Amino acid sequence: MQTDLRGRDLIGDLDFTKEEVETVLEVAWDLKRKRALGEPHAYLRDKVLAMLFFFSSTRTRGSFEAGIAQLGGHGAFIESRTTQISHGDTEKEMGEIFGRYFDGIAIRHVTWGTGNRYLNLVAEASRVPVLNMQCDIYHPFQCLADLMTIMEKKGRDLRRKKIVVSWAYAASYLKPISVPQSLILQMPRFGMDVVLAHPPEFKLMPEIMEQAQEQARKYGTGFEVVDSMEEGFKDADVVYAKSWGPLLTTNDPDEGKRIQDKYQSWITDAQKMALAKEDAIYMHPLPADRNIEVTDGVMDGPNSVVFDEAENRLHAQKAVMALTMR
């Protein structure tokens, strides 16, 4: 167990070593047990977390706000539009000032080409940990919750288990690519064979792909890219299918929507799930476009673990806060 996480930022998935991620998971399971038993665990009494949102949220805000309260602290919800950020407050000023007001700064900023840079500049100026509640490149807390859930369902030893990270059609806005990028970076470190499935226009960042392949080589796992949802699902132990925008192809919302609408057949339904293993689990970070991105039958079916996955956001985030904000 690694015990030197105090004061550390978590912005990218590889910021923590594999051993440090294992520590986070051990603490998360302990905190989950304590909450189930009603045992007090106010490890962050009188600590205050700034929660700065540039993008709306349901699970992220709820889980961070509940989590810091359960740890004995307080979460201050700050929406960027209600601050002076739009009138001149720079990243340096936010890091310097919030770093003096608060004991941790959590930020959600998914604007393409801007979010990750913003977090890193705040972190450079901050004397307290900066935590990434999702940016345009990474979604590390979602990925920690995903890993925690997979281990709960499939066991701690994930070697030779296959996860398909698949694009799926959604009629709503062009979503960030941060979830699939975090998944392909983290899962090889824990022995999973990764298959990434997407139409040609929905590629991920080349540097992230290179890092994912490097992790796969380092840990001796498989890493494959296919352009067929059906091929990706075949014999999978874990099905993780969600939409993301063609951001490396176009930044124009209208053109992106035109491209996206070409692939309406990329829906997770019973027929595609039947290609996976019988005990395969279906995962999604939510919200999902029901009966467009995934059918009700799959979302609410026996293979779905989406609500356990959502709950584990709370426990994984509490673990990181407890370890970094002491």
The verdict on 279 and 300 lying in the same domain is yes
Q: How confident is the model at residue 312 (pLDDT cuts 50, 70, 90)?
A: very high
CATH number at residue 106: 3.40.50.1370
Domain that holds residue 100: 13-139+310-324
Q: Is residue 154 part of a domain?
A: yes
Q: What digits encode the pLDDT tens for the residues 254-277?
A: 999 999 999 999 999 999 999 999
Give Cα 291 distance to the centre of its chain.
23
The verdict on 112 and 179 lying in the same domain is no
Give DSSP secondary structure letters for 87-103. GT--HHHHHHHHHHH-S
Query: Residue 37 is which amino acid?
Result: L
The verdict on 151 and 269 lying in the same domain is yes
Q: Is residue 8 part of a domain?
A: no
Please give the structure tokens belonging to residue 167: 């694009």
Contact 323, 6 (CB under 8 A): yes
Which has the closest alpha carbon to 293: 202, 166, 197?
166
The verdict on 193 and 288 lying in the same domain is yes
Domain count, the chain: 2
Q: What digits encode the pLDDT tens for the residues 221-238?
A: 999 999 999 999 999 999
The verdict on 160 and 233 lying in the same domain is yes
The verdict on 282 and 316 lying in the same domain is no
Q: Is residue 230 part of a domain?
A: yes
Please give the structure tokens belonging to residue 321: 């806060």
Which has the closest alpha carbon to 105: 80, 70, 138?
80
Percent of the chain with pLDDT over 90: 94
Average pLDDT, the chain: 97
Q: Is residue 102 part of a domain?
A: yes
Which has the closest alpha carbon to 159: 194, 191, 184?
191
CA distance 322 to 305: 26
Q: What does the pLDDT read at residue 5? A: 97
**Neighbour count for residue 218 (Cβ, 10 Å):** 11
The verdict on 89 and 157 lying in the same domain is no
Placement of tokens 């106010």 in the chain: 42
Q: What does the pLDDT read at residue 160? A: 94
Max alpha carbon distance in the chain (Å)? 55
The verdict on 125 and 221 lying in the same domain is no
The verdict on 227 and 129 lying in the same domain is no
Q: Is residue 2 part of a domain?
A: no
Please give the structure tokens belonging to residue 13: 């998935």
User: What Å distances lie between residue 32 and 25, 29, 67, 292, 324, CA to CA?
Assistant: 10, 5, 11, 33, 18
Q: Is residue 111 part of a domain?
A: yes
Q: What digits encode the pLDDT tens for the residues 191-216?
A: 999 999 999 999 999 999 999 999 99
Q: Is residue 3 part of a domain?
A: no
The verdict on 55 and 127 lying in the same domain is yes
The verdict on 17 and 102 lying in the same domain is yes
Q: Is residue 216 part of a domain?
A: yes
Q: What does the pLDDT read at residue 10? A: 98
DSSP class of 135: E
The verdict on 36 and 114 lying in the same domain is yes
Q: What does the pLDDT read at residue 87? A: 85
The pLDDT of residue 81 is above 90? no
